[in-house]
Amino acid sequence: MKKVMLTALCALSASSLSQAHDLWVYAQDAKQGKPLQAVLGYGDNFPAGDPIPEKRLHIFPPLELVTPNKTEALQQQGENYHYVSPQALGAGEYKISSTYRPTFWSKNADGWKMQNLSEVPDAHYCEQSSMYATTYFNIGGAKVSEFAQKPVGLELEIVPLVDPSQIKPMQVVPVQVLYNGEPVKGATIIGTADTLTKLDWDAVMDHREPQAFSGKTDKNGVMNLIPLVTGNWKLKTSHEAEFPDQKICQKKKMYSTYTFSVK
């Protein structure tokens, strides 16, 4: 009986953590001949960003700007979630990626601690959390190439299998989940759009973000998304494994998002 109750508590704890915050990225201003203005979104206020708490800043390395030929770090400027490119952008295809470094989170009767089980011996649940986020854009009339449908190379990643810049409402959009470059069968993908979340902002702030779509991937890690409304969309998925040393932590959990616009 105790084992069943502990399992339920662990599941509830994991669910609470996964719903508490998402990580996403988007291009706030991307024009040819101007530096990129990019936002690291972390929390609930999708698609806008919020200031990141000082005690969590160390978890986030700089956003990265990815092209078919190179990857470079963006520079933090202004608010701590705002980034710019070192140079003006030329015509071309780009991706922005973000990472939340592997971080231990344990929960005891007092709540969540940024520590592992050896540091919080009375914790009933621990996970090492990692988060990843990507988005795609092109400017200057650049032709969309296979780059748009290739992974950046993150540990856990959602990749569109169509041109992500031309998605329309009611279009069948295949997307794929990859873990270390391999397809993930049975992964749950949840999608929402700011068109919907703004209709029930109280739910968003209570970690009950309204969802527009949910489905599972097939044996090839592929799921067909059918966006019903225009807006800024966020797809999210997760993947978990046993942590190698159970005395340190119980689970290794990864979370990933992909953002795009439906016009």
For residue range 133-170, list pLDDT tens digits in order.
Answer: 999 999 999 999 999 999 999 999 999 999 999 999 99
The mean pLDDT value for 114-141 works out to: 97
pTM of the model: 0.90
The token duo for 132 is: 């990843």
Q: Which residue range(s) make up the domain with 27?
A: 2-262
For the chain, what is the mean pLDDT? Answer: 91
What is the count of structural domains for the chain?
Answer: 1
Q: Is residue 205 very low, low, confident or very high in pLDDT (cuts 50, 70, 90)?
A: confident
Share of the chain above pLDDT 70, in %: 92
Three-state secondary-structure class, residue 44? coil
For residue range 39-48, list pLDDT tens digits in order.
Answer: 999 988 898 8
Name the more confident of 19 and 148. 148
CA proximity to 148, closest of 248, 67, 257: 67
Q: Which residues pair with 220 in a beta bridge?
A: none
Q: Is residue 20 very low, low, confident or very high in pLDDT (cuts 50, 70, 90)?
A: low
Do the beta carbons of residue 68 and residue 59 sit within 8 Å? no
DSSP per-residue letters across 161-212: SS-GGG--TT--EEEEEEETTEE-TT-EEEEEEHHHHGGGHHHHHTT----S
Where are the alpha helices (H) located in the chain, listed in sequence order? 2-20, 194-197, 201-205
Q: Is residue 16 very low, low, confident or very high in pLDDT (cuts 50, 70, 90)?
A: very low
Which of 28-42, 198-212, 241-255 is predicted least confidently?
198-212
